[in-house]
Chain A
Amino acid sequence: MPLVPFIVASVIKSIIVIFILLTAVAYTVWLERKVVGHMQNRWGPTRVGPFGLLQPAADGIKFLLKEDLTPPHVYKPLFLAAPMIAVIFALTSIAVIPFGTSITIAGYNIPLQITDVNIGLLLILGVTSIGVYGVALAGWSSNNKYSLLGGLRASAQMISYEISLGLSLVGVLILSGSFSLRSIVEAQSGLYWGFIPRWNIFPQFFAFFCYLIAAYAETNRIPFDLPEAETELVAGYHTEYSAMKFAMFFMAEYANMITVGCLATLLFFGGWLGPVAGPAPLRVILPVFWFVLKVFVFLFIYIWVRGTLPRFRYDQLMAFGWKFLLPLALVNLIATAIVVVR
């Protein structure tokens, strides 16, 4: 593709994807409040718009208009930089995630993905590992005991679970032989014995189990939300943040949830693969629909877990990560390697 159409296509794709991602973040918050509300025999948001559907817009306006406090005792440069680091790196990882096959516009074949790099998965791992700094620096620069404890807990937890997360993905990489997310999905096309889809979840069930748990810990969600445990730490690392700076941490958390859902879909559930039929436009839209549906299921499970499980104790969290999850991921990796090489 020549340079100018390439740049135009990339810019348009980036704008659309970022717009959809931010909308999805806002509506994941709405979904969470609604679902958890119903699980606890409440209604959730109902006042703003039908079914409270305009609640995210109201929240956004509220965040923008609230007074933006900066406490006097904070270390200002890092206090300002921390939420930006968190949200920038949370939004970056969407760049390598493929949503569907490809469309042809004006003779150019445009894949439904901002960019397909051959180290796509490594890029996501790198970006999420840098995202830890947002949380850690927020805790430190707030100059507040609760924030510092929250930041310390978050960085310790993220480092511990990153290892299990990385190891659980290696099995999938061995099966597909590529770091490119598009190739990983394409390697899952076809059927086992004519009726079971050839998704990685079946040969890599234990890896999926490890990935899901480690990812919950990476995103600091219940039952692993020790960094912001309200009963002990007020609000953890974002205790001192208000208005839009707080909203940035909030957006980063939900954007990370969506990335985790997308990755789980791509690596274990065949991405956009699914039954496709009908005329040409439908053949483009259906794969995107399957992808979105699978991601939605993951987001729902996230919220379901939040509504169901209590929080771990800190020593339980560390023991579980190092003594159970890591050995399980290692055994799965060795077993996969033996089966594939044999």
Chain B
Amino acid sequence: MSIHLIMFIAFGVVCVAGAINLLAQSHPINSALSLIAVMGALAGEFLLLGAEFVAAVQVIVYAGAIMVLFVFVIMLLNAGAEERTQGSRVAIILGVPGMILGSVLLAWVVLKHSGTQAVAVGALPGPPSTIGQLLFHQFLLPFEITSVLILIAIMGAVVLASKPEAVQKRKEH
């Protein structure tokens, strides 16, 4: 086994363990921190696949910016630990194995019949210049449409977050 594969599996384990811990923790801030661990581990996986730019962006945007906002909101609301509720036993006995079985089946079907192959190490477009070429030549239209979509989402968020009186006032003017 090459050192790449060992590290890939290690990051994968951290990723899955973080995701499970996210669900298991009762305090929101612990869940948010597990999500950061998941993001960091994902960045490691990208790095191992040779996509260093995507890895850096994963850390800067997701772990460094979006999750800081999550933590910020949790801190601002000073959210306490959730109460543990006794969930239904049927859900645990049937649901968990059912979900695992379902995802394994799905992965098997997709890999078997769609002709998709596992991504080889270094096969992804890694250097920032390659990503830039792809984004601004081949995928220019989707890229621009996505940016407009994000702009609409930002404006929607501003409208939703502003007080109703302010909106009313703006209409009167």
Give residues in A with beta carbon < 8 Å to B. 78, 117-119, 122-123, 125-126, 129-130, 132-133, 136-137, 139-140, 148, 151-152, 155-156, 158-159, 162, 179
Contact = CB atoms under 8 A, between A and B. Distances in A.
Given A130-B59, A152-B76, A118 B127 contact: yes
Interface residues of B, number: 23
Contacts of B72: 136, 152, 155-156, 159
Nearest to A123: B56
A126 B60 contact: yes
A140 B69 contact: no
A129 B127 CA distance: 22
A117 B69 CA distance: 29
Contact of B29 (A78, A122, A148): A78
A136 B65 CA distance: 13
A126 B75 contact: no
Interface string B105-134: 000000000000000000000011000000
Nearest to B67: A133
Contact of A159 (B68, B76, B127): B68
Given A119-B52, A126-B56, A129-B60, A152 B68 contact: no
B68 to A, nearest CB: 5
A230 B97 CA distance: 56
Contacts of B38: none
Contacts, number: 67
B63 A130 contact: yes
Contacts of B33: 78
Contacts of B69: 159
Interface in B43-89: 52-53, 55-57, 59-60, 63-65, 68-69, 71-72, 74-76, 78
B71 A136 contact: yes
Given A129-B65, A133-B68, A119 B128 contact: yes
A321 to B, nearest CB: 15
A159 B75 CA distance: 15
Nearest to B43: A126
B75 A152 contact: yes
Given A125-B64, A155-B68, A159-B65, 19 more contacts: A117-B52, A118-B127, A119-B53, A119-B56, A119-B128, A122-B57, A122-B60, A125-B56, A125-B60, A126-B60, A126-B63, A126-B64, A129-B68, A136-B75, A137-B29, A137-B71, A140-B75, A152-B76, A155-B72
A78 B30 CA distance: 9
Contacts of B75: 136, 139-140, 148, 151-152, 155
Nearest to B56: A122
Given A151-B75, A159-B68, A179-B128, A133 B36 contact: yes
A257 B60 CA distance: 20
26 contacts: A78-B29, A78-B33, A118-B52, A119-B53, A119-B55, A119-B56, A122-B53, A122-B57, A122-B60, A126-B59, A129-B59, A129-B60, A129-B63, A130-B64, A132-B68, A133-B68, A136-B68, A139-B75, A140-B71, A152-B76, A155-B68, A155-B71, A155-B75, A156-B72, A159-B68, A159-B72
Query: What 7 A-B pairs are tightest by C-beta distance, nearest first?
Result: A129-B64, A122-B56, A126-B59, A140-B75, A126-B60, A119-B56, A119-B52
B99 to A, nearest CB: 30
Contacts of B68: 129, 132-133, 136, 155, 158-159
A162 to B, nearest CB: 7
A119 B71 CA distance: 27
Contacts of A122: 53, 56-57, 60
Contacts of A148: 75, 78
Nearest to B47: A119
Interface centre among A129, A139, A151, A158 (most CB of B within 10 A): A129
A70 B33 CA distance: 22
A33 to B, nearest CB: 32
A132 B56 contact: no
Contacts of A125: 56, 60, 64
A119 B59 CA distance: 12
A156 B76 CA distance: 11
A134 to B, nearest CB: 11
A162 B65 CA distance: 9
Contacts of B60: 122, 125-126, 129
